[in-house]
Chains A and B, each alone.
Chain A
Amino acid sequence: MPRLEAEESEEIKLNMTSMIDIVFQLLVFFVMTFNPPQYEGDFSVKMPLSSDAPADDIIEPPTVISVKLSAALDGALSNILVDSVPVDQVDLYGGLTKVIESKLASEGDPDKAHETEVDFDIARELKYSYTVAAIEAVSGKKEGDVVTKLINKIKFKDNSEKIQ
């Protein structure tokens, strides 16, 4: 019976060079394509089709606050009307928030205030950033780290030019 020869105890060394090369190339790729994410948020807008929600199904229609935004020639915000009443010209957005707050407070019932809708009638020429600022003003306010939520149901009056 042949005996197995004792194997030599040589240390096996793997060639790591190619792996390190690839690993560094991967690292360089990820570093170069690294793009720190910017946090984005949404304002939800419901634009139900006119055929939805037949009038018979609505037991109690929600309170609707009408907000009209007017534009200056350069597309900036020139005026805000809440239920046809102009808000404070000095601080348009702050004034809008105050008016919305007072209207919600007058509702009394918090649940009913929660159901209140704001219907925006926006001048077509108004730049979008002003529209977003107005939506923010009716959505709530942030003082320090304290966020007070006001309206979360927003609709737009259809001022679109019908495109076929």
Chain B
Amino acid sequence: MKFSKAKSSEILEGDLTPMIDMTFQLIAFFMLLINFSEVDRAEEISLPTSVLAVPPSAPPDYQIILNLEPGGMVIFAGERIPIEEISRELGLEVKSAAREGVYEPGDISVVIRSHENTETGTVQDLISVCQGQELESFALRVLNKVN
């Protein structure tokens, strides 16, 4: 009976270089795509769609993003605030904009991200409250639908 020879007890080490290279490339890819600007977007807001609305070519000097729920609650900076009480927050935001630059309230763009089932009257109420803070430039945000 033949016995096989004892194998040498060397540790086998695979070449990990390509795997590490690829992993770093994947991390770089995901880091580049991560979008921190989405913090102002409320995921529960289902926007109406449009084929014509296009993203602004250049970001505005200063923008305030207001998410409007069907019930009339405004999600602003992560907090749900009734429309009647948003005026104070807007006033603080206008002052904050003034501190950051020389922006007049008219230079501030108010982005309204309203749920598609919200009554238009509620949107108009929100616009009216914004006008009370001398804001007059509005952008109605919609989801860009590809044909």
Contact = CB atoms under 8 A, between A and B. Distances in A.
Counting contact residues on chain B (CB < 8 A from A), the size range is 35 or more
A18 interface: no
A61 interface: no
Given A40-B142, A43-B139, A48-B136, A20 B20 contact: yes
Contacts of B24: 23
Contacts of A156: 124, 127
Interface residues on A, range: 35 or more
Contacts of B48: 128-129, 132-133
Contacts, number: 167
Interface stretch (A1-9, A30-38, A101-109): A30-38
Contacts of A162: 128
B119 A43 contact: no
Contacts of A48: 136
A41 B144 contact: yes
A125 B30 CA distance: 43
Interface of B: 16, 20, 23-24, 26-27, 30-31, 33-35, 38, 47-48, 50-56, 83-84, 87, 111, 114-125, 127-129, 131, 134, 136-144, 147
20 contacts: A23-B27, A30-B26, A33-B34, A34-B33, A35-B38, A37-B35, A40-B142, A40-B144, A41-B50, A41-B141, A42-B55, A44-B139, A52-B136, A122-B121, A126-B119, A139-B52, A156-B127, A160-B121, A160-B128, A163-B129
The 10 closest A-B pairs by CB, nearest first: A124-B121, A41-B53, A30-B30, A160-B128, A42-B139, A129-B116, A129-B48, A39-B144, A132-B48, A160-B124
